[in-house]
Amino acid sequence: MSDTTCVITGGTDGIGKAAAHALALQGARLLIHGRDPQKGASAVAEIKARSRNAAVEFLQADFSSLGDVRRLAATLMERAPRIDVLINNAGGLFARRKLSQDGYEMTFAVNHLAPFLLTHLLMSSLRGGKPARIVTTSSEAHRRARLQLDQASSRYSAMGAYASSKLANILFTRALAKRLAGTSVTATCLHPGFVRTNFGRDLSAVGRLVFGWVSRFARSPEKGAETIVYLATSAQVQGASGGYYFDCKPTQPSPAAQDEGAAEDLWRLSEQWVGIA
CA 21 from chain centre, in angstroms, equals 16
Give the C-alpha distances (Å, rounded to integers) separating 226 from 15, 26, 90, 239, 261: 9, 13, 16, 19, 31
3-state secondary structure of 217: coil
Distance (Å, rounded) from C-alpha 55 to C-alpha 157? Answer: 41
Distance (Å, rounded) from C-alpha 140 to C-alpha 241? Answer: 19
Q: Judging by beta carbons within 10 Å of its beta carbon (0-12, 13-18, 19+), is residue 148 exposed, middle or buried?
A: buried
Distance (Å, rounded) from C-alpha 162 to C-alpha 211? Answer: 15
Q: What is the DSSP string of 3-42?
A: T-EEEETT-SSHHHHHHHHHHHHTT-EEEEEES-HHHHHH
Give the C-alpha distances (Å, rounded to integers) separating 270 from 86, 224, 263: 19, 28, 10
The answer to whether 72 and 33 are in contact (CB under 8 A) is yes
Distance (Å, rounded) from C-alpha 148 to C-alpha 157? Answer: 11
Whether 156 is catalytic: no
Annotated catalytic residue: which of 104, 162, 244, 245?
162
* Residues annotated as part of the active site: 162
